[in-house]
Structure 1
Amino acid sequence: MTTRANAPGYLPGFGNHFSTEAVEGALPEGRNSPQRHRLGLYAEQLSGTAFTAPRSENRRSWLYRLRPSAQHPAYQPFAQGKVRSGPFVDAPPSPNRMRWDPLPMPSEPTDWVEGLVTYGGNGDPDAAGGIGIHLYAANRSMIDRVFYCADGELLIVPQAGQQVFVTEMGRLDARPGEIVVIPRGVRFRVECEGEIRGYVCENYGAIFRIPDLGPIGANGLANPRDFETPTAWFEDLDRPTECVQKFGGRLWTTTFAHSPLDVVGWHGNLAPYRYDTAKFNTMGTVSFDHPDPSIFTVLTSPSETAGTANCDFVIFPPRWMVAEDTFRPPWFHRNVMSEFMGLVFGEYDAKEGGFAPGGASLHNCMSGHGPDQASYDKAVKADLKPVKIENTLAFMFESRMPIRTTEWAQTSPTMQLDYDDVWTGFEKGRIG
């Protein structure tokens, strides 16, 4: 069950405030932390920004829970598995273009935490800049286990299977085509009934928000009203629950004597949210030339340099192509921004084959790339009538810093060692 409203913080300020309670009286009246809560609940403020951040940027929510979240023993190191973090130094950086087959589904019972694999990233969570890029494949629910990330917020892109994100602040169901964003520090577990797979962008930098529209005007791209936050929901379970956290680039674990998903009510402007990419209002040319991919930005994490993102989340959804005398797929390009792409379903219009749903590709800073030969040949010969690209959803995590791949990603059996071959065989241009 969800509350349909503006996404937290996307329209910053006093008016963008959410209130929800699972039990009447959970939210105190008139003050955030009364001397004695009438239901005996414990008040806790969850701050996603510094206390003194400007009001337009300040993100925080008040949680009212059955027990203090501080009630747990010390954390101990947890097995890292294939999870890595910035600074990414376990393998030399590579300028080469890379592409991977889909991450295989596990053959043994594996939950979301156990199924996380890091492909790469940049920056450093301690320096509050950069991203980590992970994929996951799992086949069972997290049982008596929750997870949270202290290093950054998590933008999760489900690719296969119905998934339920059970958070401290409520439940969010998600299917392929939808995304879920979980703020830094919010505990959650992932439930499923069968195999699931997806992508994760761990954002160390400024909190994601929808981009300014500039000359587009008031309407277009992602509409704030389409972002959904959860209603309050809680567990009252007195049994041991493992809590795994990512802190300082490593995984740690402790055990609560109870379920920490015990928030009975909350209010504020910091919360998990869900967005259905089918509601994205795609902009494009109605005359000629192919627009920059920035026109497809759903969410952006800005940096200290105006107009240059720490990370942009960009999608390539179904859309009409009508441009005249134009090479309609993405053109050949070299970009100061680094591009990590994934495919949720369908076929990407710049790659005829090889880029499969659940797979990924990386084109780093200034690496030349563009359509493969088959896609190029098809596009230059096409009859340029209006055509609708349907049944596809590709996306991109685009970052201002080069993306360093992990040793696992560089040596994985899913790596397509012949990826460079897709650009062989182009004929030389005719002069004179």
Structure 2
Amino acid sequence: MTYYRRVGEVPPTRHTQHRDAEGRLRFEELMGEEGFSSDSSLLYHRGVPSALVDSQVWELADQRRVPNHPLKSRHLRLHDLFVAGETGDAVEGRRLLLANNDVRLSYVVTGVDPSPLYRNAIGDECVYVESGGGVLESVFGAVPFRSGDYVVIPRATTHRWVPNQSCRLFAVEANSHIHPPRRYLSRFGQLLEHAPYCERDLHGPTEPLVVEGEDVEVLVKHRTSAGVVGTRMTYATHPFDVVGWDGCLYPYTFNIDDFMPITGKVHQPPPVHQVFEGHNFVICNFLPRKVDYHELAVPVPYYHSNVDSDEVMFYVGGDYEARKGSGINVGSISLHPGATRTVPSPRRSRRRWAWTSSTSRPSWSTPSPPRPVRGRARRRGPGLCLDLGRTRSRGWRLAGGVQQLLTESALGACRVGAGCMLSRRGGRAESAPGAQGWSTSADSVAAKRRLGGCSAPTRQACTG
């Protein structure tokens, strides 16, 4: 986090006694990252925050992975994961889609029931709200969320999701911390003038959330030598007993509509659309903007090879005209391994296209003339695609862009069901830091059969 906040009652000097009006001592907790050498916050509890009553196994949903071998691009349809009327809570209802040794991606359609109390002890979470709204309750207080929000939750933050309507949530679970790109920050942590957003766009808790309770269960996701596992921990008092806190570590939201795109006369590379980053991955989003308005600009997407990155794109809105016949639609995920070339669809490679939008929501449409009119800017329609790739020698990168498209032969009518995922191959699950490559889950083939399977021309490409 990049700036200091103070919420509720805190003593004038840190690490000194803090008592209520009746003289009862508040219990100070220091929550800090990287061995207390990075961002931290001080929280003041009514009860003893470490008073543990019981600890039992929490059986997680299927975490198995199988190799993406032979190497192929993939297409998943997330809106087919949950049949009409089927929902789950925002924690236990998640279905793992893709995974590697740096990040895991999952998806859930919720109802209006609150999730259990939960914390991720492996890394930060960044959850994109595809649709819906509600409140995220945490030890730091309540943070409202709405459609288009990124909800960033620091590692080990006890929280729960309280939807006020059905929500579609796309969860990015990192093995590291998630924060604004370092190149957008001053050496003291302030977002700089050239950044596409600023501190005013980040919304955190504004007041404490105090809840009474005893023997309260919290679901904890953590890691062992066997991989990612879960534990049900029961605490003597409710974790939401914080009367005040201050610091630079807390959950917050950022809405995609507040992102200010960076443009150029010719196509700008995906890093200019970056919004967050973690260890070995970044998150980008592509929004309405002037695009490639030089009169001789090569229309995107041109052929390109992201040699150090495996890309995963999540399409969250609009009529994706440039991919007609490919099967790409709202709710699609496409995987582009770094060893393959990304190309325009045959239809797009034969014609120049412009992207137009008259609203603030994702919308792509209409072909342009062979050459754009001099002096008039074309506009790309908004959308969000998460593109996971290696930013250095290995790892993944999350980025977004409608100009980065799948190879036509890699796409089809494959419908993937519950439990389907792709991940890096090699090593023990979630534990080999140098492993490379994606893999598909053991359940994917059975899931595809349940949902009708693949179309004949693409059946081989869809059965990892």
1:382 matched to 2:368: yes
**What is the CA–CA distance in structure 2 between the aligned matches of 1:231 and 1:137, rounded to whole Å?**
28
Deviation at 1:228, TM superposition (A): 1.7
Match of 1:318 in 2: 288
Q: CA separation in 1, counterparts of 2:254 and 2:106?
A: 20
> Cα–Cα, structure 1 residues 184 and 387, in superposed 2: closer, same or farther, change >3 Å?
same
Do the aligned residues in 2 keep the contact of 1:345 with 1:394 (CA within 8 Å)? no
- Residue 408 of structure 2 corresponds to none
Q: 1:228 to 1:239 in 2, by over 3 A?
A: same
Q: Which structure has more strand as a fraction of its residues?
A: 1
Question: What is the deviation of 1:327?
Answer: 3.3
SS at match of 1:76: strand
1:229 counterpart residue number: 204
Aligned-residue offset at 1:331: 2.2
State the distance in 2 between where 1:272 and 1:33 align.
25
Partner in structure 2 of residue 407 of structure 1? 441
Letter in 1 for 2:314: G
Shift of 1:420: 8.7
CA contact (8 A) 1:99 1:415 kept: no
Partner of 2:118, secondary structure, is: strand
CA distance in 1, matches of 2:321, 2:179: 27
Query: What TM-score, normalized to structure 1?
Result: 0.79
Partner of 1:73: 53
Aligned to 2:112: 140
Give the deviation of 1:182 after TM superposition: 0.1
The separation in 2 between residues aligned to 1:114 and 1:156, in whole angstroms, is: 14
Instruction: Tell me which residue corresponds to 2:272.
Output: 295
Compared CA separation, residues 318 and 246, structure 1 to 2 (3 A): same
Letter in 1 for 2:441: E
1:340·1:362 contact (CA, 8 Å) conserved in 2?
Answer: yes
- Give the secondary-structure state (helix, strand or coil) at the position aligned to 1:212: helix
- Cα distance in 1 for partners of 2:456, 2:127 equals 26
* Partner Cα separation in structure 1 for residue 442 and residue 294 of structure 2: 42
Which residue among 214, 222, 226 is the counterpart of 1:247? 222
Cα distance 1:349–1:64, how it changes in 2: closer, same or farther (>3 A)? farther
Q: Is 1:28 paired with 2:11?
A: yes
Instruction: State the Cα deviation string for residues 327-360 of structure 1 (Å, max 9, x = none).
Output: 3333222211111111222245753463233331
Change (3 A) 1:347 1:355: same
- Give the Å deviation of 1:409: 7.0
Is the CA contact (8 Å cut-off) linking 1:180 and 1:274 kept in structure 2?
yes
The aligned length equals 377
Task: Measure the CA separation in 2 of the matches of 1:138 and 1:47.
Answer: 31
Identity of aligned residues (%): 21
Superposed CA offset, 1:242-294 (max 9, x none): 210101011111233543122221111111111111111111212x3x22111
Deviation at 1:372, TM superposition (A): 2.1
> Which residue number corresponds to residue 89 of structure 2?
111
Relative to 1, partners in 2 of residues 1:108 and 1:238: Cα closer, same or farther, differing over 3 Å? same
Distance 1:135-1:109 versus aligned 2 partners, 3 A rule: closer
Contact 2:18–2:26 under 8 Å retained in 1: no
Residues 69/417 of structure 1: CA separation in 2 closer, same or farther (3 Å cut): farther
Partner of 1:176: 147
CA distance 1:325–1:257, change in 2 (3 Å) = same
**Comparing 354-363 and 145-154, the one that deviates more:** 354-363
Distance (Å, rounded) in 2 between the aligned partners of 1:350 and 1:71: 57
Aligned equivalent of 1:357, options 330, 345, 351: 330
Cα deviation for residue 92 of structure 1 reads: 1.8
Contact kept? 1:118, 1:135, Cα under 8 Å: yes
Q: Distance in 2 between matches of 1:221 and 1:371?
A: 28
Q: How does 1:29-428 map to 2 (within 5 A)?
A: 29-34=12-17, 40-51=25-36, 53=37, 58-82=38-62, 84=63, 90-94=65-69, 95-103=71-79, 104-105=81-82, 107-108=85-86, 110-123=88-101, 130-142=102-114, 145-213=116-184, 218-248=193-223, 249-286=228-265, 288=266, 290-302=267-279, 310-321=280-291, 322-335=293-306, 336-348=308-320, 351-352=323-324, 354-379=327-352, 382-383=368-369, 384-385=372-373, 386-390=377-381, 392-399=383-390, 400-401=394-395, 403-404=423-424, 405-407=439-441, 410-411=444-445, 412-413=447-448, 417=454
How far 1:233 moved relative to its partner?
A: 2.2
Which structure 2 segments of 5+ residues have no match?
186-191, 354-366, 397-422, 425-438, 459-464
Do the aligned partners of 2:135 and 2:144 also contact (CA within 8 Å) in 1? Answer: yes
Q: Is the 8 A contact 1:329 1:350 kept in 2?
A: no
- Using a 3 Å threshold, how does the CA distance of structure 1 residues 177 and 371 change in structure 2: closer, same or farther? farther
Residue of structure 1 aligned with 2:6, choices 19, 26, 41: 19
8 A contact 2:204–2:252 mirrored in 1: yes
Q: TM-score of the superposition, structure 2-length normalised?
A: 0.74
Name the Cα RMSD after superposition.
2.9
Q: Helix, strand or coil for the counterpart of 1:73?
A: strand
Query: Aligned with 1:115: secondary structure?
Result: coil
SS in 2 for 1:61: strand
Kindly indicate whether the alpha-carbon contact (under 8 Å) linking 1:139 and 1:195 is maintained by their aligned counterparts in 2.
yes
3-state secondary structure, aligned to 1:316: coil
Which structure 1 residue ranges, 5 or more long, are not aligned?
Answer: 1-7, 10-15, 124-129, 303-309, 422-432
Deviations along 1:76-104, one digit per CA (max 9) or x if unpaired, are 2112113x3xxxx7312442111111243
Looking at structure 2, the residues matched to 250 and 273 of structure 1 have their Cα atoms a distance apart, in angstroms, of: 26
| SS at 1:344 equivalent | coil
Alpha-carbon contact 2:289-2:379 (below 8 Å) kept: yes
| Structure 1 range deviating more: 311-320 or 249-258 | 249-258
Q: In structure 2, do the counterparts of structure 1 residues 186 and 330 end up closer, same or farther at CA, with 3 Å as the change threshold?
A: same
Q: Tell me if structure 2 keeps the 8 A contact 1:239–1:259.
A: yes
Moved more, 91-100 or 401-410: 401-410
